[in-house]
Structure formats: C-alpha cells, structure tokens
Amino acid sequence: MSDALSRIPVHDVRQVALAALPRSASSPLFERLRGAVGQVAMRAPDAEEGARWHTHTLGGVQRRFAQPITFTPYAAVQPCSARCGFCSENLRKADGSAAASRLRPAPGYFDGLARALHALRGVPLSWSLSGLETSDDADWMLRLLDVLATAEHSGVVVEERVLYSNGAGFAAPRGAQLRDALQAFGLSWLELSRHHPDGAINQAIMRFRPGVAIGEQAVFERTARQLADLVPVRLVCILQRGGVARPADVAAYLRWAQHCGAGTVVFREFSRLDDSYRDNATARYLHAQRVSMDELLAACLDDADVSRGWALDTLTEGYYFWNLRLRTASGLQVVFESADYGAMHQRHASGDVYKLVYFPDGQLCAGWEPGHDVLLDTRNEPVPDHAHHHAHHHA
C-alpha cells in the first residue's frame, strides 16, 4: 500500500454513519454492498481532521491543502488524437468561461511549471498527468517528465505518479522511447482508455483520427502488453450505450483485459453534471448514452455467471466520486466508479485546496477552469535561481 493510501482512514463500514457517505448513501446499491464489503476508505478529509490537511503559503496567501492531493500539468499541445463524443474536455460552462482544452502552451510553459512546483515545495503531491492526450507529442511529453523528475530531485515530495492516456503515442514511431521514459519516471500505474473489447465498436466510440495506429485492435493489444511489461496498466472503460452496457459486456471486457496484460480494470460511469454546464453536443451525448453504474453493477452481482468468484473488497468515498473494488477469481482487480461534478464544484468553492491544475497559460489553479481559483500566476512570479537552472539544465 502506498504512503498516500495508508494515510486514508479506513473505517469499518458498519460504524460509518450514513450521513458521512453522501455519494454512496444516495445509491440504492449501497445498502446491499454495506453488508458484503468489509471496509470503507474515506478519501476526502473532513474540515476538522487536522492531520489530513497541509498548510502552506502560496503566492503570499496561507492555504490548506487536502491530503492526498494531485497535481495535473494540463496537456494541451494539440487536439487529441481521438474524438470521443463524451470527452469532458468539450464540456462548456454556462457562464462562458474559457475552456482548458483550447489553450495552447506559451513559450515559457516549462519554466512556469518549474516555478509553480518550486512554490509548492513542502506540499506532498501526486502527479496526475492528464488533459488532452499527453503522448500525442513525444517531445512535449519527454520534456514534461523531465521537468517533473527534476522537481522531485530538488525536493518536491511525490507519492504517486499516474498517467491517463489513450495510448496513441506509445504505438507511434517514437513509442518505444516514450514507453521507456514512463518506466524510468517511476510511473505508479498507467490508466489506459479503451471502451470496448471489439475494435470496430471501440473505434465507433473513440473515433481516432485517420492514420492513428492505436485505433487498430491488433496494434492496441500489442502496445498494451508492451506497456504492461514496464508499468502496471489499468484499462479504463467508460460505460455507455452502444459500448459496455450489460453484464455480458463486462464479462467479455474482463477476459480481454487480462489478455492485454492489465492488472486492473476500471468501469466508470459518465460524470454526473450539475446545471452549470451548457447544453452542447457533449452534454447531450452524456445524457442520451448514459449507463448507470449502480444498475449495471447490481445486474452483474445478480448474474451468477458473471460474478462467480468475485470477492468484494473496499468502498472508497472520494471528494466527488465513490467506487467499489473487487477481485475476480483470476486475480484481476476491478473498480466500479461514479463521479459527480456538482459535488466537485462545491468542494472547489470551499476555499480549501483539493486539486491543483497547472494550465498552458502559466496559471496554477485549484480546479479545472482556467482563470478560476487562481493560486499562482507564474507569469508574474520571480524566477527562483534553482528551479530555473534545473529546468534548463535538463532540457
């Protein structure tokens, strides 16, 4: 178990008041799981839990940082190699604020990143590398890993290193170089997106652009196995109509995932939106194609053929998500997860810091919206000799 996880208090599920479990308590499945699952991990600290907050002064302001906390250098060098209809990067806020996916990194991007990390020294972080597709630009990805590794060498304490990817760059001409770089970086695990075990169905969902090799089934399977030889791979499947929607689909996906070398499969429900989002094509896709995680999981548990040998493990209560972990008879770890953006926005509006995102425009923010909850604008920060030196030295 990692340091980050071992600091999350694990409660006996029967001793946790339902009021303390806002997300899962609203799930009709919860009562049922409650009897079957041994423990509940509380991922979001309560306001009073002193040990789970880290106080740190950033940009001259003293703030509380939730522990554990993830730092995302938002990848946005170019449009993603895929075009998933549900892509949350294409959701827009009704208030018309700027979208992160439209920003492209300024020339000083990596210097600013080094400065932001320097300013955060003392706050234990975990790398959560996401945004658009990080691996689509090999040079950018290698430079990113280099700046992050340099920050670690100069004193930033990092607990977990996770990359979210559709895999495209790892099957491109410089794929071998990128795969090796991931291993050298000490990646904790790779979350690799693939939404159906059948290549044609997956392509109908992800719509990789013409010429993107990973779109092909054989290429994906080979690449996934190559990656799994180097780093732990978690295959991520977003539940949806036309994709994985029924217990038989779940069973087929799990068999295929093991063939691809994955140790873990994550089935994730479309995030639930609050009314702060504009009614665009993405929001309509989420509405029309939604498959309920609760209902699918309940149907799997009711289907003896699908759930034979499953051992239910842990319920985790995150600050805007909850999940159930189980293990199959063949040793695959499976996670069923749902997330609520309304709950996420409430947390982000609380004044405490639950999430760190560094955007291409050089701002470090406490959430996913550029220009909102700005903690530090690296364009106005003096350059610390140290960070500056290292960023260039390793470039």
Enumerate binding residues for ligand SF4 (CB under 6 A).
Answer: 80, 82-84, 87, 89, 132-133, 166, 193, 206
Give the nearer residue to ligand SF4 in terms of CB position, either 56 or 207.
Answer: 207
Q: Which is nearer to ligand SF4, 132 or 306 (CB)?
A: 132
Min. distance of Cβ 89 from ligand SF4 in angstroms? 5
Shortest separation between residue 133's beta carbon and ligand SF4, angstroms: 5
Strand ranges for the chain from DSSP E: 10-12, 39-42, 53-58, 61-66, 70-73, 125-129, 158-165, 189-193, 233-238, 264-268, 311-317, 321-327, 333-339, 356-358, 363-365, 374-377
Residue 15 CB, shortest distance to ligand SF4, in Å, is 38
Three-class secondary structure of residue 216 per DSSP: coil
Distance in angstroms (rounded) separating the CA atoms of residues 383 and 269: 42
Measured CA distances, 89 to 6, 215, 258, 298, 317 (Å): 32, 20, 29, 30, 24
Give the length of the chain: 395
Give least dist CB 352 to ligand SF4, A: 28
Please say which residue, 80 or 300, places its beta carbon nearer to ligand SF4: 80
Which is nearest to 240 in space by CA: 178, 281, 309, 286?
A: 286
Residue 68 preceded by cis peptide, ω within 30: yes
Instruction: Of 170, 192, 165, give the one whose Cα is nearest residue 181.
Output: 170
The least CB distance from residue 207 to ligand SF4, in Å, is 8
Residue 74 tokens read as 């938002």
Q: Which is nearer to ligand SF4, 83 or 102 (CB)?
A: 83
In whole angstroms, the minimum distance from the beta carbon of 85 to ligand SF4 comes to 9
Is the Cβ of residue 40 or residue 206 nearer to ligand SF4 in the bound state?
Answer: 206
Q: Which is nearer to ligand SF4, 117 or 206 (CB)?
A: 206
